[in-house]
Structure formats: C-alpha cells, structure tokens
C-alpha cells in the first residue's frame, strides 16, 4: 500500500468497528420503517451504509461516473444481508486501497450528469468525501432512526444517552 493511503486504511478499520456496532442494533423486524415519507426506510439506510466502502471503491476505479437518471436504494431482504454486504464492501475497499498506485490515487476523477461534467477531484478526494465522510453522514442518520425507534444508541465517538464507555 502506498504511504499516503495508510492513514485512510487505518481510519476505515477503526470506523468499521463503530459502523458494525450501529448496524448490529438495527431491528430486523423494522426494516420497512421510515421516519418520514421522504426518508429511506430503516433497511434501505442500513444497506446503503453497508454498501458505501465497496461501492465507492468500485467508483474510484473508473475515470468518470455518469449519474443515473433515477436512483432507488434497494431494501435488504433481512438484517443478515446488511451485515454480509458490509463485510464484502470492507474487503473490496481494503483490496482496492492496497493495490492502487500513487499515480492513480492522485489522478482526476469526474462526476457527470447527462454527459455534462458536474465536478472533478483527485481520486483521493473522492475516497475521503464519498467513502468516508458520506459513510459517517449516513451512520449519523441511522443513529437518529435508532433513537426514534427507542433502540439503545451505541457509543460512536463518546457516550450516548444509552451507553457511557468511561
């Protein structure tokens, strides 16, 4: 692995523990629940979180990505699908980061919509913003879903109303 990606790999390993802890709290009998009609269901959100590392690793291997005209987040058939997807995605991310060259990771990646470039950034920026920051954003959403369902919210970066690690 190239040196510039070592801190990112460490962060993925550390944050995967927290992500797994939150996903394990998802009640399997509430996967279709949603807090608002415009919101993803609990299952859709959990599966989306589980797919982030693997999907972004796949996107990073492309030079550009054309945004689909419509996007629909699939729902998992059960909670085990979420956990299996997380494991596969983490493995894919680790394999990609372990093998990518410095030239490739510093190369430009482009997002397009209807053939028009929306933005471009170095591939390492894609990994930072869309893999990690995006992952944390949705993980935060999931902790709110858990709270609304009266499921104990696990420790993330410090104590919650339900758990105090200190």
pLDDT in tens, 127-166: 999 899 999 999 999 999 999 999 999 999 999 999 998 8
In CATH, what class is 3-69+95-148?
A: mainly alpha
Give Cα 62 to chain centroid, integer Å. 18
Distance of CA 8 to CAs 12, 54, 66, Å? 6, 15, 26
Give me the pLDDT at residue 155, please. 94
- Angstrom distance (rounded) from CA 8 to CA 131: 10
pTM: 0.95
């Amino acid at each position: 692995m190239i040196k510039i990606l070592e801190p990112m790999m460490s962060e993925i390993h550390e944050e995967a523990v927290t992500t797994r802890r939150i996903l394990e709290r998802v009640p399997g009998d509430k996967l279709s629940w949603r807090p608002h009609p415009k919101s993803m269901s609990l299952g859709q959100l959990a599966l989306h979180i589980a797919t982030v590392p693997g999907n972004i690793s796949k996107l990073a291997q492309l030079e550009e990505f054309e945004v689909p005209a419509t996007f629909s987040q699939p729902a998992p058939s059960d909670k085990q699908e979420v956990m299996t997807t997380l494991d596969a995605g983490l493995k894919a991310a680790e394999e990609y980061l372990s093998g990518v060259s410095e030239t490739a990771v510093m190369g430009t990646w482009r997002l397009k919509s209807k053939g028009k470039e929306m933005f471009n950034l170095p591939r390492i920026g894609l990994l930072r913003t869309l893999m990690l920051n995006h992952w944390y954003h949705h993980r935060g959403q999931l902790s709110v879903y858990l709270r609304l369902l009266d499921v104990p919210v696990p420790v993330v970066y410090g104590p919650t109303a339900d758990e105090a690690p200190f």
